[in-house]
């Protein structure tokens, strides 16, 4: 096997293979192994897909048992036992204990499908066109999702106008102490003379992951929900990357005490890396006509099986507590690291999504390269790739977390030591 084959035959659009240039063959827990047998600690976790680690034995067993009995793999959106089990368990373990009532739509296999369905439904139900999104948002690559995404490089790929969206500053985007974005939004929506058409919905990530690990404060999220409710505008939370326990609780918005009208989940939902996405809909809003939004791969049965097994991890609060413990440890280590760097850098994050933002925008990518050379997979985020983003599996064993942090510290010190004072500063 050769990476040359991939470089020769796969489209130029390929991305991560350029940053991590090796051929991976195996993965277990928080480790990935390449064709030469070299092991890497995974602080990337498939961009939040592998919250429970690679090939978790409980999920693998459920999948192998299911397949060995010739159960249904593909069924469009016909009724299957695997789907019914997933829905029952999701209601029992996730929705009911949180006092949440949602209808579940399977919009297509991946995150952007969940976002497209959410946007379409919000527009249909309200009869309004405009959607509010936030600076540095990332919601996916299909046209509707791209229209609510901030990154200009990604937006340019659309080749057509991306319209019917208004961008509002995310929490912390404006200068500290002068952040009046929600007050302004409230005012514009209240004023008949503002010229602002009433939007259908606002779509938000509570932690902007791709956008640079930007964390919205709980009181800001509460205020946003209140402003939207006051103006009868729907709240869509895109929990695709930071849901399924990434911030500690199953949904990232739980701590804020808000109940979104629509929620998008994907990535770690199947728990095993199999494609699965849902759009959760407040029951009164479920105004779809049968088949109005469809697709061939809506509810992949093997993914239902592993997703149902993964819900066992949420039967008690032990995973949430363990994520809290690990996130405190990571935060402490990163803060100590940043204090001894010769460059300007800042730590931020929530739960087990943590980032270091560097003023010299080239450092984060160099850290990622240095880390990879030392056996750690860690990615960058932000419009200039200025943030080193840590996203280890939630179930990473303590020894691997420790070993990964050690490599990370060495890599960051090496890369920051080479920073040149005349480089671009964000």
Ligand X SMILES: Cc1ncc(COP(=O)(O)O)c(C=O)c1O
The residue (of 29 and 108) whose beta carbon lies closer to ligand X is 108
The nearest distance, CB 142 to ligand X, in angstroms, is 8
Name residue, tokens 């640079």: 212
Name residue, tokens 């990154």: 151
Do 298 and 327 contact (CB within 8 A), yes or no? no
Any idea what the Cα angle at residue 14 is, between residues 13 and 18, rounded to 5°?
130
Binding mask 376-395 for ligand X (x = CB under 6 A): --------------------
The token pair at 108 is 């297509």
Instruction: Decide: residue 166, CB within 10 A, 0-12 exposed, 13-18 middle, 19+ buried.
Output: middle
Q: Does 115 bind ligand X (CB under 6 A)?
A: yes
Contact pick of 210, 261, 360, 385 for ligand X (by CB under 6 A): 210
SS3 67: helix
Q: Does 110 bind ligand X (CB under 6 A)?
A: yes
The nearest distance, CB 238 to ligand X, in angstroms, is 5
- The C-alpha atoms of residue 329 and residue 239 are separated, in whole angstroms, by 24
Using CB under 6 A as the binding criterion, the count of chain residues that bind ligand X stands at 15
Q: Which of residues 278-317 bind ligand X (CB under 6 A)?
A: none
Q: Which of residues 253-282 bind ligand X (CB under 6 A)?
A: 266
Do 395 and 50 contact (CB within 8 A), yes or no? no
Name residue, tokens 């109005």: 292
The nearest distance, CB 241 to ligand X, in angstroms, is 3
The nearest distance, CB 47 to ligand X, in angstroms, is 5
The phi and psi torsions of 21 (rounded to 5 degrees) equal -80, 75
Taking contact as CB under 6 A, which single stretch among the options 97-105, 234-242, 293-301, 402-410 is the one that binds ligand X?
Answer: 234-242
φ/ψ region of 386 (left if φ > 0, alpha if ψ in -120 to 50, else beta) reads alpha
DSSP character string of 22-67: S-EEEEEBTEEEETT--EEEESSHHHHT-TT-BT-HHHHHHHHHHH
The nearest distance, CB 186 to ligand X, in angstroms, is 25
The nearest distance, CB 373 to ligand X, in angstroms, is 25
The nearest distance, CB 137 to ligand X, in angstroms, is 8
Taking contact as CB under 6 A, which single stretch among the options 111-119, 175-183, 286-294, 353-361 is the one that binds ligand X?
Answer: 111-119
The residue (of 241 and 419) whose beta carbon lies closer to ligand X is 241
Contact pick of 45, 201, 209, 415 for ligand X (by CB under 6 A): 209
Taking contact as CB under 6 A, which single stretch among the options 34-42, 110-118, 171-179, 368-376 is the one that binds ligand X?
Answer: 110-118
- The C-alpha atoms of residue 242 and residue 267 are separated, in whole angstroms, by 9
The phi and psi torsions of 31 (rounded to 5 degrees) equal -125, 140
Q: Does 251 bind ligand X (CB under 6 A)?
A: no
Q: Does 205 bind ligand X (CB under 6 A)?
A: yes
CA neighbor of 360 nearest in space, from 348, 345, 339: 345
What is the Cα gyration radius of the chain?
Answer: 21
Q: Does 47 bind ligand X (CB under 6 A)?
A: yes
Any idea what the Cα angle at residue 412 is, between residues 408 and 413, rounded to 5°?
120
The nearest distance, CB 297 to ligand X, in angstroms, is 12
Q: Does 238 bind ligand X (CB under 6 A)?
A: yes
The nearest distance, CB 194 to ligand X, in angstroms, is 29
The residue (of 137 and 258) whose beta carbon lies closer to ligand X is 137
- The C-alpha atoms of residue 65 and residue 304 are separated, in whole angstroms, by 13
Binding mask 122-151 for ligand X (x = CB under 6 A): ----------------xxx-----------
For ligand X, the binding residues (CB under 6 A) are 47, 110-112, 115, 138-140, 205, 209-210, 238, 240-241, 266
């Amino acid at each position: 096997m050769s990476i040359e084959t991939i470089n020769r035959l796969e489209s130029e659009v390929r991305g991560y293979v350029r940053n991590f240039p090796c051929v991976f063959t195996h993965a277990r827990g928080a480790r990935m192994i390449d064709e030469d047998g070299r092991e890497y600690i995974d602080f990337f976790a498939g961009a939040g897909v592998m919250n429970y680690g690679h090939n978790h034995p409980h999920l693998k067993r459920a999948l192998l048992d299911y397949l060995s009995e010739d159960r249904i793999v593909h069924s469009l959106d016909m009724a299957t036992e695997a789907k019914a089990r997933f829905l029952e368990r999701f209601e029992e373990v996730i929705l009911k204990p949180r006092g949440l009532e949602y209808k579940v739509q399977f919009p297509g296999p991946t995150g952007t499908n969940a976002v497209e369905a959410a946007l379409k439904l919000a527009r249909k139900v309200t009869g309004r066109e405009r959607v509010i999104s936030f600076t540095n948002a990332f919601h996916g690559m299909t046209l509707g999702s791209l229209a609510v995404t901030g990154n200009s490089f990604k937006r340019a790929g659309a080749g057509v106008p991306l319209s019917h969206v208004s961008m509002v500053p995310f929490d912390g985007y404006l200068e500290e102490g002068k952040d009046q974005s929600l007050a302004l939004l409230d005012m514009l929506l209240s004023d008949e003379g503002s010229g602002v058409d009433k939007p259908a919905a606002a779509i938000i990530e509570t932690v902007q992951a791709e956008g640079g690990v930007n964390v919205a404060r709980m009181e800001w999220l509460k205020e946003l929900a209140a402003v939207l409710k006051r103006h009868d505008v729907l709240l869509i939370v895109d929990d695709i990357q930071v849901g399924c326990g990434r911030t500690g609780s199953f949904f990232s918005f739980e701590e804020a005490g808000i109940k979104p009208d629509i929620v998008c989940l994907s990535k770690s939902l199947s728990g095993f890396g199999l494609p699965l996405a849902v759009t959760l809909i407040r029951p009164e809003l479920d105004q779809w006509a049968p088949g109005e939004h469809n697709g061939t791969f809506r509810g992949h049965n093997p993914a239902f099986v592993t997703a149902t097994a993964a819900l066992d991890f949420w039967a008690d609060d032990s995973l949430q507590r363990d994520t809290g413990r690990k996130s405190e440890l990571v935060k402490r280590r990163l803060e100590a690291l940043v204090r001894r760097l010769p460059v300007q850098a800042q730590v931020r994050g929530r739960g087990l999504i943590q980032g270091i933002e560097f003023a010299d925008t080239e450092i984060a990518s160099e850290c990622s390269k240095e880390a990879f050379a030392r056996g750690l997979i860690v990615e960058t985020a932000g419009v200039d790739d200025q943030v080193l983003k840590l996203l280890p599996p939630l179930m990473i064993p303590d020894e691997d977390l420790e070993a990964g942090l050690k490599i990370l510290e060495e890599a960051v010190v090496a890369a920051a030591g080479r920073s040149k004072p005349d480089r671009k500063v964000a």
